[in-house]
A and B are shown apart, each in its own frame.
Chain A
């Protein structure tokens, strides 16, 4: 199916375990993002990628690792999960589009989210 998908949708793990959240998009968008959303709060950027093999840190990167070997996939790994990483994780993708003059804009498309619980 076309669009952006995340797997798993729900995950329960234990402190100290490694967990990988998957994100896949079918639009060949250059940009991909990972956000976390804690209960009752807004989204915070963890990592983003401007293209395959190019990644950069966001607001809250500590404890997370990302890779982007293929344009369509952007996995997020928690190397040693902690209770504070219990959250809902959203993946998004976007493409720069021509706007006013030489300026470009980016409309982000979000996945359905992965609800992660770390016990």
Chain B
């Protein structure tokens, strides 16, 4: 089963860190975790990926648990423009429903 589990929605105050969890308990050892986001009705945008080590880029940080069954995407200083639906996937083809992140002033 290639499905992930994410909370349907989360709120975050502007300027605070947004921590988005994802459960991917059926991931295999050779599959990457990918995060994408979709702002309004635009095409999804790649954010970050990781295998087993924590990763950081200019957009976000990715924390993967040691057993690789879950991960957390961290937006260190959320802005209003980060309001979007965030998707966590490990099978590169299958997106779930994602988490709607609402960043509030």
Total of A-B residue pairs, C-beta within 8 Å: 54
A94 near B45 (CB under 8 angstroms)?
no
In the complex, chain B residues 85-101 whose Cβ is within 8 Å of any chain A Cβ: 85, 87, 92-98
Query: Range of interface residues on chain A?
Result: 20 to 34
State the CA gap A110–B44 with chains docked (Å): 6
Question: Which residues of A lie under 8 Å from residue B52 when comparing CB positions?
Answer: 100
Identify the closest chain B residue to A109 (Cβ): B46
A42 near B96 (CB under 8 angstroms)?
yes
Find the residue from A43, A106, A112 having the highest chain B CB count within 10 A.
A43
Question: Which residues of B lie under 8 Å from residue A105 when comparing CB positions?
Answer: 32, 34, 49, 92
> Are A103 and B93 also in contact (CB < 8 A) when A110-B44, A112-B43 are?
no
B43 near A111 (CB under 8 angstroms)?
yes
Question: Which residues of B lie under 8 Å from residue A92 when comparing CB positions?
Answer: 43-44
Taking the closest CB of chain B, its distance from the CB of A116, in whole angstroms, is: 13
Question: Which residues of A lie under 8 Å from residue B41 when comparing CB positions?
Answer: 88, 113
Taking the closest CB of chain B, its distance from the CB of A51, in whole angstroms, is: 15
State the CA gap A94–B97 with chains docked (Å): 21
A112 near B42 (CB under 8 angstroms)?
yes
Taking the closest CB of chain A, its distance from the CB of B33, in whole angstroms, is: 10
B residues with CB within 8 A of A: 30, 32, 34, 36, 41-46, 49, 51-52, 85, 87, 92-98
7 closest A-B pairs by CB: A110-B43, A42-B97, A43-B95, A107-B46, A105-B32, A45-B93, A106-B92
